[in-house]
Chain A
Amino acid sequence: MSAAELGLAVSVFLACAVEAVEALTIVLAMGTTRSWRPTWYGVAAATVALAVVVAIAGPALTALPLGVLRVVVGGLLLVFGLQWLRKAILRAAGLKALHDEAALFAEESERARAVAHGPERAGIDPYAFTVSFKGVLLEGLEVVFIVLTFGANQHRIGLAAIAALAAVAVVVAVGFAVRAPLARVPENALKFAVGVMLASFGTFWSAEGAGAHWPGGDAALLVIIPGLLIAALTIVSWLRRAAASRLVERSA
């Protein structure tokens, strides 16, 4: 396995694990507070919808010439990754609330309990169905985007899909074993790492797609990824110092 393929597998696994943890929280909240049957129907319907997206977008992407694919998909991945990384930096610097699955589970469960059980449609609680469907679909779309962009760019959609399925399987197995949201997963650190990986691969592919040649070829990723990580950590440290000095100024 080349460095780029290993990076692909690790990036997709981590990104999908994070999304699966978030989807699991919603599914568990619906299943335990409302009813499992409509929750499972919602999960199944979202899975079918995601499969349709993959079936349409996958072949369409792989049919594009590699140069076009890399510049378009690399650019999209970079924009997406920078968005993800910005939020992760703000969280790490203490300027944005950390993602807390236990709190989200409590919030979602409370909301579900507050909604009255209305008339069922075909024996299904529409609230549990809709919330679990939307939760899995929205988190799943991010997984699909990452799998397709990473997989198509390296012509390794199979490897990306295996990494994604492995992540979802691990999260679901652990989640249902403990019957609780996975609050102890270091989700914020994972999101930081994923942001760095998405933006790094996006940088690499978009430049290649635009006609640039990286010194060292794929090995350039071994410089881009740690380089961006150091830059992001430097921004976090700078933001923390700036916040601390503002606090000292105010208390003086």
Chain B
Amino acid sequence: MNAVRRVALGVWDFVVGDDWITAAGVAVAIAITAMIASSGAAAWWVMPAAVLVLLVQSVGRALRGG
């Protein structure tokens, strides 16, 4: 394994950890916020709503051991 790959994996593990689904959910929520904001509508509510859903889902997955 070369050094770049090791560093990339280290960074991934450091930030994302064992729950990539939450990371993907955050990315999707940011994209939805950007789409709504670019249409001129209020988009501030998307991230808090997404955070609550992602947190509950993440805790649920941890309990199921997934």
Interface residues of A (CB under 8 A from B): 71, 75-76, 78-80, 82-83, 85-86, 89-90, 95, 141, 145, 199, 203-204, 206-207, 209-215, 220, 224, 227-228, 231-232, 235, 239
Contact = CB atoms under 8 A, between A and B. Distances in A.
Given A80-B15, A82-B54, A211 B38 contact: yes
Contacts, number: 99
Contact of B59 (A71, A90, A203): A90
Q: Interface majority SS on A: helix, strand, loop or mixed?
A: helix
Contact of B48 (A82, A86, A203, A211): A203
Interface in B9-58: 14-17, 19, 22-23, 26-27, 29-31, 33-34, 36-38, 42-44, 46-48, 51-52, 54-56, 58
A185 to B, nearest CB: 24
A212 B36 CA distance: 8
B43 A212 contact: yes
Contacts of B36: 212
B3 interface: no
Given A79-B16, A95-B63, A232-B55, A227 B48 contact: yes
Interface residues of B, number: 32
A212 B52 CA distance: 18
9 contacts: A78-B47, A82-B51, A95-B63, A203-B51, A206-B30, A207-B30, A210-B43, A212-B47, A213-B42
Nearest to A211: B37
B43 A211 contact: yes
A129 to B, nearest CB: 21
Contacts of A215: 44
A220 B44 contact: yes
A133 to B, nearest CB: 16
Contacts of A211: 33-34, 37-38, 43
Contacts of B16: 79, 83
> Of residues A71, A78, A204, A207, which shows the largest number of chain B Cβ atoms within 10 Å of its Cβ?
A207
Contacts of B52: 231
Given A71-B30, A210-B33, 15 more contacts: A71-B34, A78-B26, A79-B16, A83-B22, A86-B59, A89-B59, A90-B59, A141-B14, A203-B51, A204-B47, A206-B47, A207-B47, A210-B31, A212-B46, A235-B59
Contacts of B58: 82-83, 86
Contact of A82 (B30, B34, B43, B55): B55
A247 to B, nearest CB: 15
Contacts of A204: 47
A85 B22 CA distance: 12
